Amino acid sequence: MAGWEDPDVDLLYRVNGWSEQAPQWFSSLLGFLSEYGVIFGLMALGLWTWWTARARADSVTAVAGLLWAPLGASVAYAVNYPIRELVERPRPFVDHPDLNVLVEGKSGYSFVSDHSALTMALAVGIFMVNRRWGALALGLAAFQGFGRVYAGVHYPTDVVGGFALGIAVVLLLSPLASALLTPLTRALAASPRAGWLVTARTADVDGSDGSGTAGAGDTTATIAGGHARTGPPPAGEAPGGPAGRAHTGDHPAPRHPNARV
């Protein structure tokens, strides 16, 4: 294991040593966040990104990309298992029992960090859909990786390896995932019941509001090449009278048969 020593172990002791200088409640909180909190925070951020992506014009492809985020994280976790079994690197507290371990009950091999692979895969998946929320997700993933070293359950190289694995899986398999997931989200968007899962836009391309009726601006109807009036008749015109003929309400005076025209 000499190849793992020197800067990796030195950095491990330096970061983990901060946990002994910090208040106990702070170190316990950071250990909890590195184990559970960041992952749930990324899941909540992914749900919010999905909710806002439904209003986008490209909501079909955006939601497909967000579906790939947790699926890609699952693939990264599955790929990590044979790597850990092949490398067989013990946890840092096994070879260095004087570390301050903040998360109890950890077993199995150390390289690569499955938590780091999961969080980074989720963060990259969110970043590919929304840059603003994705930048926040990447920050959370980096914080989680720091917490694993701070808690004494991973070497720094375990975290770096997990980050690299999560990024590689999500980016390399993204074209295939998009080709498979986009038809699914497109079909969901066309569904009367499940369409809200993909899009929040109710307006159709023909200007209707999605209910099969004309829009609010279409208030007149064409009849025989003309337009029917819906308001009150003009002044001097009797209700129901023909347009352009004034009615005053008085009858014209009778004309004498011998009157000259």
Range of the domain at 162: 7-197
- Whole-angstrom CA distances from 20 to 41, 95, 105, 148, 186 are 26, 19, 20, 15, 53
Q: What mean pLDDT comes out for the span 126-148?
A: 94
pLDDT band at 98 (very low <50, low <70, confident <90, very high): confident
Residue 243, domain member (yes or no): no
pLDDT band at 106 (very low <50, low <70, confident <90, very high): confident
Mean pLDDT rounded to a whole number for the chain: 79
Q: What mean pLDDT comes out for the span 60-86?
A: 92
Q: What mean pLDDT comes out for the span 167-187?
A: 93
Q: Which residue has the higher pLDDT, 237 or 187?
A: 187
pLDDT band at 68 (very low <50, low <70, confident <90, very high): very high
pLDDT at 253: 52
CATH of the domain at 49: 1.20.144
pLDDT more than 70, % of the chain: 75
Distance of alpha carbon 66 from alpha carbon 27, whole angstroms: 33
In tens, the pLDDT along 142-163 reads 999 999 999 999 999 999 999 9
pLDDT at 5: 54
Residue 244, domain member (yes or no): no
Residue 152, domain member (yes or no): yes
Q: What mean pLDDT comes out for the span 56-68?
A: 90
Residue 223, domain member (yes or no): no
pLDDT at 4: 47
Tokens 């307006």 locate to: 203
Comparing CA positions, the residue from 114, 109, 97, 217 lying closest to residue 165 is: 114
Q: In this model, does residue 2 exceed pLDDT 80?
A: no
Q: What is the dihedral of CA 121, 4, 18, 84, to 10 degrees?
A: 40
Q: Which of 11-25, 99-113, 225-239 bottoms out in mean pLDDT, i.e. has the lowest?
A: 225-239
Q: Within the chain, where are the H helices?
A: 7-21, 24-32, 38-53, 59-87, 92-95, 114-129, 131-150, 156-172, 174-189
Residue 204, domain member (yes or no): no
pLDDT at 198: 87
Q: In this model, does residue 219 exceed pLDDT 90?
A: no
Residue 207, domain member (yes or no): no
pLDDT at 188: 87
Number of structural domains found in the chain: 1
Residue 51, domain member (yes or no): yes
**What is the sign, positive or negative, of the torsion defined by CA atoms of 132, 137, 138, 143?**
positive
Residue 35, domain member (yes or no): yes
How many CB atoms within 10 Å of residue 260?
4
pLDDT at 255: 54
Angle at 177 between CA 191 and CA 183, to 5 degrees: 25
Q: 124: burial class by Cβ within 10 Å (0-12, 13-18, 19+)?
A: buried
